[in-house]
Amino acid sequence: MQIETGSVSLILALGSNQGEREKLIEAALKKIEERIGRILSLSAFYYTHPVGFDSSCDFVNCACEVASKSDIHAAFAITQSIEKELGRVKKSEKEQYADRLIDIDLILADDMVLDTPELTLPHPRFHQRGFVLAPLCEIAPDRIHPLLGKSIRQLHEELHGEDAVTSEKCGILAKQ
């Protein structure tokens, strides 16, 4: 779908490994559409193992593209607010990850590059994470990483080893 004039294309990655994972992601997507902007495309749900910490609870992950007229900092604040509303009580700090009800990461905003204490764009590690790249490859394979100059498809193909996503995808909510 086409982005209308005055809108920014936001790429969001969502994940949950606690509670009713699919329902939490569906609730987050509904709030995103109500408060940030129209969801233009949505990947299937992927079941993935936790990365960066040990847990017996697998994640459900997906990615979406949103057309937003919100200021980038306002859109980011809304994602954080949605996480809290859905029960997230603590954010990961200094790459110390833990189980969570919901996680909404702002991955890309057009080709914007930003580095502030609150927000870094593009997301600094998304190109190393199969659980982000696999669903992103579904909805935006030709999108270019603004710093690395490579497409999402190229980044996904280059990823290998334990970070590659080989788990089954579930077609719940697949929308393009």
Judge whether 99 counts as a catalytic residue: no
- Among residues 58, 99, 105, 110, the one annotated as catalytic is 105
Give Cα separations from 39 to 13, 63, 99, 133, 145 (angstroms).
Answer: 12, 10, 26, 18, 20
Judge whether 129 counts as a catalytic residue: no
Judge whether 115 counts as a catalytic residue: no
Judge whether 38 counts as a catalytic residue: no
Q: How many other CB atoms are found less than 10 A from the CB of residue 118?
A: 9
Angle among Cα 39, 17, 33 to the nearest 5 degrees reads: 15
Please list the active-site residues: 88, 100, 103, 105
